[in-house]
């Protein structure tokens, strides 16, 4: 045991290195300087009454902020057809954008970097969440069977397959939501492309049974996700855009017969937006791991 009052000896370099905790080392993520590598994963809270974020979220998110820490907000709807759970926030109208502002300001006041996760649930919904009680939209008209969603038993209304000519409007909803997120003060967005929600309903061959240019081959199933990434990258800059993918997950009946090919194809096609992408993949660097993990978050930056 060290004697009281003893002065610490200067440590040789190799000893200091041994004591470094990798999770607490800084990381440069595009234009953002993270002071450590522990992120707040997006976590749905269901406390945004009438789809409007509430003032108590100021406390919730600022409690979870550290200087230089990276936070991803809970999944946030891109349009009035995007919801499938009670009281989840949106970012498609002015009231929602204004309500997010003080929450984002509080995170920034503590030095945090804050992305909004933008979301459309697709068929993981029922008509009670939909305008005019219409059917939820999806890549397909295949129904989900009712299942426990962690809170209660979800009851799903059979979805309506989007017509080809409607798809640009949904891509546009994502683009506008990303623009709104920047307007609200967020530093960027993470597109929710995982967990059986709308984008995953296009990516996965267990669900997508389309015969147009958005279904069939792997390339065609990935087109919807790619068009969303492209639209948002053009709108707010590629270094402010991430996408969460879960090729190996089959949550909400969203399995794929070849998840490795799907994950690789998406990762490779997204690299063109990301300056150091090829280098990172070639070096087996962190983002390859996050693309592929089905245990940890699968966020990757485009």
Ligand X SMILES: Cc1cc2nc3c(=O)[nH]c(=O)nc-3n(C[C@H](O)[C@H](O)[C@H](O)COP(=O)(O)O)c2cc1C
Q: Taking the complex as a whole, how short is the minimal distance between the CB of residue 117 and ligand X, in angstroms? A: 6
Angle between helices 94-109 and 167-184 (to 10 degrees): 40
Q: Which of residues 29-58 bind ligand X (CB under 6 A)?
A: 41-44
Known catalytic membership, residue 85? no
What is the full DSSP assignment across 188-206?
EEEEEE-TTSHHHHHH-TT
Instruction: State how far the Cα of 219 lies from the Cα of 262, in Å rounded to an integer.
Output: 9
Q: Taking the complex as a whole, how short is the minimal distance between the CB of residue 84 and ligand X, in angstroms? A: 11
Q: Taking the complex as a whole, how short is the minimal distance between the CB of residue 1 and ligand X, in angstroms? A: 37
Q: Determine which residue in the list 34, 75, 189, 191 makes contact with ligand X, applying CB under 6 A.
A: 75
Nearer to ligand X by C-beta: 53 or 215?
53
Q: Does residue 240 interact with ligand X by CB under 6 A? A: no
Q: Taking the complex as a whole, how short is the minimal distance between the CB of residue 194 and ligand X, in angstroms? A: 6
Q: Which of residues 138-157 bind ligand X (CB under 6 A)?
A: none
Q: Does residue 244 interact with ligand X by CB under 6 A? A: yes
What is the full DSSP assignment across 22-86?
GGGS-EEETTEEESSS-EE--------GGG---THHHHHHHHT--TT-EEEEEEEESSTT---ST
Q: Which of 61, 197, 273, 291 is catalytic?
A: 197
Nearer to ligand X by C-beta: 43 or 286?
43
Instruction: State how far the Cα of 234 lies from the Cα of 240, in Å rounded to an integer.
Output: 10
Measuring CA to CA, how many Å separate 160 from each of 54, 134, 142, 214?
32, 9, 8, 15
**# of chain residues touching ligand X (CB under 6 A):** 11
Q: Does residue 192 interact with ligand X by CB under 6 A? A: yes
Collapsing DSSP states into helix, strand and coil, what is residue 137? strand
Q: Does residue 74 interact with ligand X by CB under 6 A? A: yes
Q: Taking the complex as a whole, how short is the minimal distance between the CB of residue 193 and ligand X, in angstroms? A: 9
Q: Does residue 120 interact with ligand X by CB under 6 A? A: no
Q: Check residue 140 and report its DSSP letter.
A: S
What's the count of helices (H) and strands (E) in the chain, helices before strands?
9, 12
Catalytic residues: 197
Interface with ligand X by CB under 6 A: which residues? 41-44, 74-75, 117, 192, 194, 244, 297
């Amino acid at each position: 045991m060290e004697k009281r009052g003893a002065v610490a000896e200067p440590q040789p370099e190799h000893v200091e290195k041994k004591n470094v905790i990798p999770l607490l080392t800084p990381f440069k993520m595009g234009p953002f300087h993270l002071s450590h590598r522990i992120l707040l994963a997006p976590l749905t809270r269901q406390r945004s009454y009438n789809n409007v974020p509430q003032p108590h979220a100021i406390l919730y998110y600022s409690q979870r902020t550290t200087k230089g820490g990276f936070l991803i907000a809970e999944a946030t709807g891109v349009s009035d057809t995007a919801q499938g759970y009670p009281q989840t926030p949106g970012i498609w109208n002015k009231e929602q954008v204004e309500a997010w502002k003080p929450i984002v300001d509080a995170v920034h006041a503590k030095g945090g970097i804050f992305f909004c996760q933008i979301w459309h649930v697709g068929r993981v919904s029922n008509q009670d969440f939909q305008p005019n009680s219409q059917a939820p939209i999806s890549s397909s008209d295949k129904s989900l069977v009712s299942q426990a969603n962690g809170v209660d038993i979800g009851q799903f209304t059979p979805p309506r397959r989007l017509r080809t000519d409607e798809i640009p409007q949904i891509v546009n909803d994502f683009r506008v939501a990303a623009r709104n997120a920047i307007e609200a003060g967020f530093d960027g967005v993470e597109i929710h492309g995982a967990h059986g929600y709308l984008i995953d309903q296009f990516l996965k061959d267990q669900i997508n049974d389309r015969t147009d240019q958005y279904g069939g081959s792997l390339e065609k199933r990935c087109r919807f996700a790619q068009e969303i990434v492209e639209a948002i990258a053009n709108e707010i800059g590629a270094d402010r855009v991430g996408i969460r993918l879960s090729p190996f997950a089959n949550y909400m009946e969203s399995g794929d017969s070849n998840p490795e090919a799907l994950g690789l194809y998406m990762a490779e096609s997204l690299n063109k937006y990301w300056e150091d992408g090829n280098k990172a993949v070639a070096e087996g660097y962190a983002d390859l791991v996050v693309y592929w993990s089905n245990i940890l978050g699968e966020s990757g930056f485009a």
